[in-house]
Structure 1
Amino acid sequence: MASRFLQKTASSFRGITARSSCFIRPLSTVNSLKEASPSIEGENVTPESLVPPPSTPLKRPIRQAVASAVEPITPYNITISKLMAAGLHLGHSTSLWEPATLPFIFGTREGISIINLEHTLVYLRRACNVAREVALRGGSILFVGTRPGFQELTIEAARYCDGFHVSSKWIPGTLTNRHQVLGRHAPPDPEDPGRPPKTYKPDLIVLLNPLEHKIAISEAQLNNIPIIAITDTDYDPRLVSYPIPANDDSIRGVELIAKVLSTAARDGLHRRKQLLDQKEKEKKLLRKQHSTKY
């Protein structure tokens, strides 16, 4: 009995020592960490030390950070998923359906016509090719968008490709009677101030809301000016030269189409500048060779 009692006490004593060693280990690690870390009790904390230096980069808003991280949409990477995300597949009610838009309609859902985005993508790429070629040949492009919410994106699209814009109101006679309508706003001729100022016609018109611009379309047709327009299911696409079947009520969708078209026109301008620079270099080289020859 005594031996058993001695064995139990020995085992309990071993357990106590093991537990105490377990408790001692984390305390030792904490002490070592305290010794390794620098003490800040003696340091003087001032308000100037809490202010970050001017070289510290500022935090940008989440919207700007996401916009910079996402790849910009161009005519070369546009897809059907991006068109659907912008809401370009939603048409008007079936009661406002225009029969001429039947080839562009995928079906109907809950009384709303659904636009086939495969056709939208094809017609959008064709319109981009037209805008690029017009800019490549030195033509001027006019963006027209007067619906509420379209003014800013119309101006941005026109400025991006060095074009022109009408964002407030289309004045009747801007094309058919441009000498009287636009002549008073045109600068006078420096060589002959008495001569009436020159006014020019655009080579291409991009209509973002053609339903409200029947007069502009008729004037463009009289002057043989091609038109690129966003045609919804309630508008006849045969009235314009290059229709783009899409939802013209979605601000995001209209902004997407305007940005893609302006990017294509900017590519044409860049290509034109490269060709002109190349021709200028060739002319200089010919002049140099001619001067050295004689």
Structure 2
Amino acid sequence: MATRTFCQTFAGVSRRQFSKAPSFYSRSITSARPVLNAETTETTTTEAKITVESLVPPVESLKKTPIRRTVAPEAITPYNISIAKLLAAGLHLGHSTSLWEPATLPFIFGTREGISIINLEHTLVYLRRACNVAREIALRGGSILFVGTRPGFQDLTIDAARQCDGFHVSSKWIPGTLTNAHQVLGRHAAPDPENPGRIPKTYKPHLIVLLNPLENKIAISEAQLNKIPVIAITDTDYDPRLVTYPIPANDDAIRGVELIAKVISSAAKDGAFRRKQLLDQKEKETKFSRNHRR
């Protein structure tokens, strides 16, 4: 009897559940159909709106977006100079083999089509040595004179001298500028305010940077008499033993000569800046010691 009632109750529960289930699933399916129809209608409308003109971006947007960023060129200094930059400036091209000076043999890499090729490894070493000399002289408070009298060298000579607060000779080297300075430069010197009748005092440079030594042999001889060191660009047709610090390179390329002048000038500027820092530090130390004594 009990089993019969249990079976009747179980059958009733199962019938209620299965009778409700179809209504649930049918309700969910019927509610999902309109959504699917809406999506299909939207996709069909968007596909109909797509044209060739809509795929191509407007011309105004292309003009506003930069295609390439311009990078400022890096300033050339004695610390980032390399053989590639010397090669790009044309400093490896020497003169014809008919004008070859035998003393330049250690600096020559070889010959090509009758032209001597300078080894830029030696050029880089001698250029760095010249930069160290210019830096030390500026660090000790010395004056530097840039000489470039060849046509086309005037502007770069003046710019190099102004960069390191030096002096320049860009037109012509007057004979006697160093050996007879009172007669040549005395009229351009400022008179003594305490004694105007006294001969104006002239000064001599502590270093000469010669950009075209072949046309300034008189300047080299006067520097030797006054024991002034000379940094000069020596090509394959000039004896490098006549100057104190030679730089084996092409002295005809304006771009290469400008590169060497800028590098030496930046080295001298660095030395002058370090000198100023040392003087300021020394002055601060003296002031501190005076205040401490009080």
Structure 1-normalised TM-score?
Answer: 0.78
2:257 counterpart residue number: 254
Counterpart-to-counterpart distance in 2, 1:219 and 1:73: 32
Once the two structures are superposed, the pairs formed by residues 1-294 of structure 1 within 5 Å of their partners are: 24-28=45-49, 69-291=72-294
Stretches of structure 2 lacking an aligned partner (at least 5 in a row) = 1-40, 55-68
- What does the per-residue CA deviation read over 1:253-272, in whole Å, with 9 as the maximum and x for residues that have no partner? 00000000000000000000
Residue 204 of structure 1 aligns with an amino acid whose one-letter code is L
Instruction: Say what the alpha-carbon RMSD is for the aligned residues.
Output: 2.0
SS in 1 for 2:74: coil
Counterpart-to-counterpart distance in 2, 1:105 and 1:257: 19
- What does the per-residue CA deviation read over 1:13-51, in whole Å, with 9 as the maximum and x for residues that have no partner? xxxxxxx99885355468xx9xxxxxxxxxxxxxxxxxx
SS in 1 for 2:46: helix
Counterpart-to-counterpart distance in 2, 1:281 and 1:176: 41
Residue 187 of structure 1 aligns with an amino acid whose one-letter code is A
Counterpart-to-counterpart distance in 2, 1:71 and 1:104: 29
Counterpart-to-counterpart distance in 2, 1:263 and 1:127: 12
| Residue-pair matches, total | 239
Residue 197 of structure 2 aligns with an amino acid whose one-letter code is G
Residue 235 of structure 1 aligns with an amino acid whose one-letter code is Y
Residue 277 of structure 2 aligns with an amino acid whose one-letter code is Q
- What does the per-residue CA deviation read over 1:53-103, in whole Å, with 9 as the maximum and x for residues that have no partner? xxxxxxxxxxxx96x612111101111011000000000000000000000
State the shift of 1:187 in Å.
Answer: 0.7
SS in 1 for 2:246: strand
SS in 2 for 1:69: coil
Stretches of structure 1 lacking an aligned partner (at least 5 in a row) = 1-19, 34-64
1:51 counterpart residue number: none
Counterpart-to-counterpart distance in 2, 1:86 and 1:70: 15
Counterpart-to-counterpart distance in 2, 1:22 and 1:269: 75
State the shift of 1:192 in Å.
Answer: 1.1
State the shift of 1:130 in Å.
Answer: 0.2
SS in 1 for 2:201: coil
Name the % identity. Answer: 81
Counterpart-to-counterpart distance in 1, 2:293 and 2:164: 38
Q: 1:110 to 1:287 in 2, by over 3 A?
A: same
Counterpart-to-counterpart distance in 2, 1:224 and 1:26: 89
